Structure 1
Amino acid sequence: MDEQRPAHILVVDDDREIRELVGDYLERNGFRVSHAGDGRQMNAVLATRAPVDLIVLDLMLPGEDGLSIFRRLRAESRSPVPVLMLTARSDDVDRIIGLELGADDYLAKPFVPRELVARIRAVLRRVRMLPPSALAESAVRTIRFGDWRLDLLQRNLIDRGGVVTPLGGAEYGLLRLFLDHPQHIFSRDQLLAQLARREFEIEDRSIDLRVSRLRRRLGDHARDPRYIRTVRNEGYVFAQPVSYEA
């Protein structure tokens, strides 16, 4: 993404009033905005020469629904556009499925436009930190965060002094999930779904215990953790920026 130009956001929602309100707010905050009311109109925008940096995609669309559109986008593109999904507040299942499929973030309706802007900027920051290869798995060997490095080949955690700590499968999977989605709030159900998708088995009642153990690995203080923070009534969030190295 060219940081010299405004980020181009494509808002896909069948509610014209919502599209216009969101579009106006995003433009006031420095974004370039295109609109689409369904999958067909979205395809028309994506077919133009103007690159889209992020898609705000409503799941409840006429004709082809948002999940189907998202699956198609991921299947058809080698360098997928980041997608932030909009869901009804009661659609927990769709949110979980969307994250399982690889959505970059989600926001429940009704939402505050200011929060949408914050979520979009967070996703775009993560994208800017990726290497030009769009983080192809084979190209990335190390993830850095705070005082630590995670060796993706050996699955070792390495501190500033070079001390190496091997990680178990579920422990590695949980840490990797947080590092792949910094600043994203995960509920316990979403952590379970994501870990199952990545083929790391973990029991529901042990999520909190696993997080507690991972915090101890990272030297997090229980009352004021630096890395994995608890968001009351919502879940957990990885609060540190990350960077990637080949």
Structure 2
Amino acid sequence: MSLPHVLAVDDDEIIQRFVQMALDTEALELRQAGSVDEAVALLRSEGPVDLILTDLMLPGASGVDLVRTLRATPALLGSARIVVLSAGLNSATSQRLEAQGVWRQLHKPIAVSELQTAVRAALGMEQPVLEPDKPRRVTPDATPEQRAIDLHFGGDAALFHAFRTSCAAQFALDVTQGNALARAGDLPGLRRHAHSLASVFATLGEEAAATQARALQHACAQGQSSAIALWPALAQVLEHLSQKQ
């Protein structure tokens, strides 16, 4: 019996890595795409999958556009369920997604266990037996790192550190990309970049950095000319975190 196929659509390589690590132990085949065009091309060439997991804020067409395209093209969608995983969900967007038949909406940052549970449910896979009498709690005096390990990685410190190491390798590239966007005055591109970074920082427990990224994202969304001036400080944060092991 062949394994179910999952297509994850996100332009952030760090988020792609997080999804890959979260689903690595699951009995499924994972494919990844960085844009709507890439996702559609993959579905046209390889055929429908069993589950599509997509972000909303993507380069070019959005995740909402992808949902519309799939609903309008049954040959691409097949019987796949669609799950949206995004930090950009609000009530209006959620209503539109529900109207388009999106099966579930998940918020970033997300815990590994929550993502695994949603994917298993979407694919009709058997859920593991949990121990309800042993809920995981975060102690009030826990460090930000320990809170992140408990909240997002189910207490698995090794998985957290593996993810952080992959992030550190990517952050230098993120600085280069952000510098190019800032020099070009590309506010939409810088907004997407900040949006992705905010989710990654929150997943790592770097809340101060996440707040800075959200401020940049908001300024870009408002079309503020001062938004570009916020980037250098965030670039310094990235450079610092790239050295953090």
TM range (shorter): 0.3 to 0.5
Q: Higher helix proportion, which one?
A: 2
Query: When the two structures are superposed, what TM-score results if normalisation uses the length of structure 2?
Result: 0.47
Structure with the bigger RCO (C-alpha within 8 Å, sep 6+) is 2
Query: When the two structures are superposed, what TM-score results if normalisation uses the length of structure 1?
Result: 0.47
Q: Higher strand proportion, which one?
A: 1
